[in-house]
């Protein structure tokens, strides 16, 4: 599996807070790290497309091989490829856990899932990349309901997007339907058309 790298390196590289955190270093220093980071460089079309792809990879914390698989699935589907790609990333179990407010970051959400603290339709599922289908119910285990990190996340995260229903008291949620592209709350703007061009 490809390495995803330290938390904020990708944010600094593209000059945007991909992690979605207000204290991201890229807010203060929106240029790449290193002594030549501030130098002005002309960006090629290839590089522009590559940056968009890397942004999406960093936001969802997926490897290059996973990204390629999602792209191939999106191409084979009936919908618009770029929108389908984001829809597939958005309905990963770790992403749904994050959107429901049970975790503050993708890493936290992934850890909750991989450590067996998340139930899908009442059954323990520890695969972060598992795809959540409409009408499936996601909840954290009884033990995880008392985790400080889960309680804190629930307190400070906004309401989930329209395609998710959340019962805050039960720490439970449902994917009501497939997400529409304009409803997906990405931390920075992403041009998925350029990502499709990159892989084409």
Instruction: Sort strands 172-175 and 123-124 into parallel, antiparallel or unpaired.
Output: unpaired
Q: Helix axis angle, 192-199 relative to 45-60, nearest 10°?
A: 110
The 10 Å CB-count burial string (b at 16+, else e) for 7-33 is bbebbbbbbbbbbbbeebbbeeeeebe
The rounded distance, in Å, linking the Cα atoms of 10 and 130 is 25
Average pLDDT score over residue span 186-193: 92
Please name each of the domains of the chain with its CATH number: 9-88+185-199 (1.10.1050.10), 92-177 (3.10.290.10)
Q: What is the pLDDT of residues 157-185, one digit of tens each?
A: 989 999 999 999 999 999 999 999 999 99
pLDDT value, residue 1: 39
pLDDT tens-place string over residues 10-33 = 676 676 767 666 676 656 665 666
């Amino acid at each position: 599996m490809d390495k995803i790298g330290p938390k904020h390196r990708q944010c600094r590289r593209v000059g945007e807070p991909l992690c979605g955190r207000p204290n991201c270093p890229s807010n203060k220093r929106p240029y790449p790290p290193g002594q030549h980071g501030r130098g002005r460089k002309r960006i090629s079309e290839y590089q522009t497309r590559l940056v968009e792809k890397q942004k999406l990879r960093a936001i969802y914390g997926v490897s290059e091989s996973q990204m390629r698989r999602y792209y191939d699935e999106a191409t084979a589907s009936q919908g618009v490829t770029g929108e389908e790609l984001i829809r597939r990333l958005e309905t990963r179990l770790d992403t749904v856990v994050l959107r429901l407010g049970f975790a503050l970051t993708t890493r936290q959400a992934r850890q909750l899932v991989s450590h067996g603290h998340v139930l899908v339709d009442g059954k323990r599922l520890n695969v972060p990349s598992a795809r959540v289908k409409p009408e499936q119910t996601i909840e954290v285990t009884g033990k995880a309901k008392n985790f400080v990190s889960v309680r804190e996340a629930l307190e400070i995260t906004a309401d989930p997007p329209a395609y998710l229903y959340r019962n805050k008291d039960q720490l439970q949620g449902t994917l009501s339907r497939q997400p529409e592209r304009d409803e997906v709350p990405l931390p920075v703007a992403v041009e998925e058309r350029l990502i499709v061009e990159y892989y084409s």
